[in-house]
């Protein structure tokens, strides 16, 4: 009997907004975040056009740019909903044309290019004010966790698998009869060249020459160099920037944040920030390649060993964000020479929840250390998050995966 491959389909909240809004829509984000899938499966539209690199357009058949223009003039007057995927390939004249015909019908524009997204969101854009801007990032971890639970994955397996499934490309590797680790490793091995390539594909020709700096930033952060000065030092050592000066790379940080690749995490006790990669899959790859040359020497055995080493770090950042989103709080941490706190979730600049995450088999000393650490901060709730809270006794509020399942 063969393996049962199950198609996992997760509806995202952006689809409802796109369907309800009467404005035109600009949906953007890096490649492989599921923009086309979301529109084709959950959004109402009359016609769908995909723009090829040579500016020819695919619909039910291949058409020219001139034909598309004429079709849009007619169909928008008839109040039809039109999707144009990778529309940035049509150039600036197309944006001027869209501006000239605005006022009827609805156009949904899709783009996976950072450079164009910046241009469209600028004050000089012909589309300024015409289109609702919707960045599509990763799938919400809470959605993934509940979906994995429905498919029969429990506890530790459900959360670890859900974490990687926030990347839509991993959903295609779900096998109902396989264990979670096998699914994750299958996805890692199959995507070992895809993930690094995503960085270069984000930028069109105008910015291609500096994509190495962007990748360098991600590599630095993946191995724990997550402050601006540390990242600048790393880039300078690799001869990617001319001066060891963090002010030179501030625009790079902004771009990566705006495009949903990086986020800033507030360090509560220092009033400063560190940077973190949003994608667990991307974080794993750059860490594994920097430390173990994974892209060149990938094996299932090596992937397994690196997963064991790196998963607790992924769980820590994933759970901190999940709790922050769940309770509508601001994500932050504490870093000091004596102790660190995995999560300090803020409400109006004040700690609401203090969070310690232990992703291993617990010993009594681990529990005591967590209690001592969280005693150093004032917060309404102090939570110890573990793999399985059965038989865990603590003065802290203890939670596990089952408390997150809806």
What does the alpha-carbon distance between residue 113 and residue 29 come to, in Å, rounded to a whole number?
7
How much is the average pLDDT of 209-234? 90
Into how many domains does the chain fold?
A: 3
In a domain, 5, yes or no: no
Any idea what the CATH number is for the domain that residue 93 is in?
3.40.50.300
> Per the domain annotation, does 7 fall within a domain?
no
Provide the pLDDT confidence category of residue 193 given band limits of 50, 70 and 90. confident
pLDDT of 46: 97
Do residue 317 and residue 184 come from a single domain?
A: yes
Selected residue with higher pLDDT from 178 and 45: 45
For residues 324 and 345, the answer to whether their CB atoms sit within 8 Å is yes
Residue 65: how many CA atoms within 13 Å on its side-chain side? 12
Instruction: Clarify whether residues 340 and 372 are in a common domain.
Output: yes
CB 77: neighbour CB atoms within 10 A? 12
Residues 159 and 246 in one domain: no
Query: Pairing relation of β-strands 106-111 and 343-347?
Result: unpaired
Q: How far apart are CA 392 and CA 296, in angstroms?
A: 42
Please report the DSSP string for 32-65 in residue order: TSSHHHHHHHHS--SEEEEE-TTS-EESSSEE-H
At 238, the pLDDT band (50, 70, 90 cuts) reads: very high
CA distances to 89, 119, 241, 299, 383 from 93, rounded to whole Å, are: 11, 13, 35, 48, 55
| Domain shared by 160 and 199, yes or no | no
How far apart are the C-alpha atoms of 315 and 134, rounded to whole Å? 27
Q: Are 115 and 36 members of one domain?
A: yes
Domain final residue pick, 254, 276, 292: 292
Q: Residue 5 carries which DSSP code? A: B
Q: Is the pLDDT of residue 199 over 90?
A: no
156 pLDDT tier (thresholds 50, 70, 90): very high
* Separation of alpha carbons 25 and 17, rounded Å: 10
**Which sign, positive or negative, has the C-alpha torsion 184, 185, 189, 190?**
negative
Give 271's DSSP letter.
T
Domain that holds residue 120: 13-135
Q: What is the DSSP string of 109-157?
A: EEE--HHHHHHHTSTT-TTTTTEEEEE--PPPHHHHHHHHHHTT--HHH
Tell me what the pLDDT averaged over the chain comes to.
90
Residue 8 lies in a domain: no
Mark whether 374 and 395 lie in a shared domain. Answer: yes
Least confident of 73-87, 172-186, 355-369, 381-395: 172-186
């Amino acid at each position: 009997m063969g393996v049962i491959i199950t198609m996992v389909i997760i509806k995202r909240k952006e689809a409802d907004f796109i369907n309800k809004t009467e404005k035109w829509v600009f949906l953007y984000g890096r490649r492989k975040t599921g923009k086309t899938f979301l529109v084709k499966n959950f959004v109402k539209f009359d016609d769908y056009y995909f723009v090829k690199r040579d500016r020819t357009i695919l619909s039910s058949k291949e058409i020219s740019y001139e034909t598309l223009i004429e079709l849009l003039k007619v169909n928008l007057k008839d109040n039809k909903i039109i999707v144009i995927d990778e529309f940035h390939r049509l150039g600036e004249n197309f944006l001027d044309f869209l501006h000239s015909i605005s006022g009827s019908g609805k156009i949904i524009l899709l783009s996976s290019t950072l450079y164009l997204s910046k241009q469209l969101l600028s004050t000089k854009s012909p589309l300024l004010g015409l289109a609702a801007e919707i960045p599509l990032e990763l799938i919400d971890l809470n959605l993934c966790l509940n979906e994995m639970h429905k498919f029969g994955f429990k506890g530790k397996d459900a959360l670890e698998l859900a974490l990687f499934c926030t990347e839509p490309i991993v959903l295609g590797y779900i096998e109902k009869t396989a264990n979670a680790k096998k699914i994750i490793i299958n996805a890692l091995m199959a995507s070992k060249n895809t993930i690094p390539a995503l960085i270069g594909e984000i930028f069109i020709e105008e910015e291609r020459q500096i994509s190495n700096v962007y990748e360098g930033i991600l590599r630095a952060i993946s191995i724990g160099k997550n402050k601006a000065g540390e990242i600048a030092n790393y880039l300078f050592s690799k001869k990617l920037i001319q001066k060891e000066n963090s002010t030179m790379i501030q625009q790079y940080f902004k771009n990566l944040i705006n495009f949903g690749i990086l986020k800033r995490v507030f360090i509560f006790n220092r009033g400063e920030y560190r940077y973190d990669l949003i994608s667990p899959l991307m974080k794993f790859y750059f860490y594994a390649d920097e430390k173990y040359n994974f892209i060149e020497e990938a094996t299932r055995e090596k992937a397994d060993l690196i997963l064991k080493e790196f998963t607790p770090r992924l769980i820590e950042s994933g759970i901190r964000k999940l709790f922050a989103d769940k309770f509508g709080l601001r994500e932050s941490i504490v870093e000091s020479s004596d102790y660190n706190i995995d999560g300090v979730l803020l409400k109006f600049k004040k700690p609401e929840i203090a969070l310690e995450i232990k992703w291993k088999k617990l010993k009594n000393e681990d529990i005591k250390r967590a209690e001592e650490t969280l005693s150093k901060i004032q917060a309404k709730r102090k939570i110890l998050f573990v793999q399985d809270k059965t038989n865990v006794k603590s003065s802290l509020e203890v939670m596990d995966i089952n408390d997150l399942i809806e």
